[in-house]
Structure 1
Amino acid sequence: MFSPTVIAVVFGVIFLAELPDKTALASLMLGTRYRAGYVFAGVAAAFVVHVALAIAAGSLLHLLPHRWVQGVVGLLFLGGAAMLLLSKGEDEEEVRPPASQSFWKVAGAGFTLILVAEFGDLTQIMTANLAARYGDPVSVAIGAVLGLWAVAALGIFGGQFLMKRVPLSLITKVAAAVMVVLAGVSLYEAIAG
């Protein structure tokens, strides 16, 4: 059985915690480059795994060395920023038409990016804590997954909307700059402890 109250509370907490996080940025970038439905399928699947891991191993996440997790996340952000800046020349501003993109390739990219970037993230730890607090893993899982999916959908479809109004080169440069800042914050936390 599940509790609608717990689902609503967890949804609100996770949605608000994830909204300013890297997931919205990653989803936005994927949404500007690929078919939205394909991206969402991969991202949604990654979040199901993300939440299942949080619920199943919630107490163990607190035992992971925070410095190592932040260091890896910081390096992943730097790598992502480098990939964004180096992947296309200025003369290649066109995005391939969605019809030429494989569902499995796009969904797999979204799945991998989110699964790796979100491992040990605040929302995963919060989900584990909420599951322990409420003693209702099913309700917590439903609320957390729905909250994460809502943020991803906003990012993906926001990316599609943005592409119609802003040049891809500008979006890429801004996203890379944000990733460098996030990398700096993560690396600082890894070093400072």
Structure 2
Amino acid sequence: MILEALTTSTAVVALAEIGDKTQLLAIILAARFRKPWPIVAGILGATIANHFLAALLGATVAGFMDGPAFRYAVAAGFIAMGLWTLVPDKMDDDESPKPSRFGPFLTTLVAFFVVEIGDKTQVATIALGAQYHDAIAVTMGTTLGMMLANVPAVFLGEALLRRVPLKAVRIVAALLFVGLGLWLLARTAGIL
């Protein structure tokens, strides 16, 4: 179950993060500071903190509410996430990082933590925490997924995004979310 939580969390978040606003933020920060390692460290720190809290919330709520109705709600949440994934993200002007005197690490740490609040990968982390009841394994997996998607963005930036067909990636991510939702529905209904 731990390996399943880790691998599923990694795959879901890595795919969902491609073209996401936090990935666009990583590119903006890399272009602005031109110091990739402090940016990568900031992304890692922000993701661990944000996703641990999200996974813990999901696991805690699931512990109190575990039952068929809750599992159906989590399954519906995965299906909704799949549909949400099909909607392209963009970085709004008011969300782009402002000039900072705090340097690349602290700017990235704070900006990533704040921008990730309410983002689809955070919501997915809550749902994964609720499904697997393991905040540590889910946090490890979602953090790995974020790093797999964002580290290349920091180093390769816009050139990478021009070559990756974002529409195809969004479709694959959406299918993964919907597939997880349908699997959980079938498992809850006793079909699997």
Does residue 39 in structure 1 map to residue 39 in structure 2?
yes
- Partner of residue 114, structure 1: 112
Rounded to whole Å, the distance in 2 between the matches of 1:138 and 1:82 is 30
Match of 1:147 in 2: 145
Deviation (angstroms), 1:149: 1.4
Decide whether aligned partners of structure 1 residues 55 and 28 sit closer, same or farther in structure 2, where only a CA change above 3 A counts. Answer: same
- Provide the rounded CA distance (Å) in 2 between the counterparts of 1:139 and 1:152: 20
**Aligned CA distance change for structure 1 residues 12 and 56 (closer, same or farther; 3 Å):** same
Contact (CA 8 Å) 2:57, 2:129: kept in 1 or not?
A: no
Matches within 5 A, 1:1-193: 3-34=2-33, 35-58=35-58, 59=61, 77-80=92-95, 105-159=103-157, 162=159
Unaligned runs of 5+ in 2: 63-72, 74-90, 160-192
> Which TM-score applies when normalising by structure 2?
0.59
Amino acid of the residue matched to residue 153 of structure 1? V
Aligned to 2:188: none
Shift of 1:128: 0.9
Q: CA RMSD in A?
A: 3.0
User: What is the alpha-carbon distance in structure 2 between the residues aligned to residue 130 and residue 142 of structure 1?
Assistant: 12
TM-score by length of 1: 0.59
Per-residue CA distance 1:37-73 (angstroms, 9 max, x = gap): 011111110001111120222359x9xxxxxxxxxxx
Cα 1:82–1:152 change in 2 (3 A) is closer
Q: What percentage of residue pairs aligned between the two structures are identical?
A: 26
Name the SS of the counterpart of 2:46 in structure 1.
helix
Residues paired across the two proteins, number: 130
- Structure 1, unmatched stretches of 5+, are 63-75, 88-101, 163-193
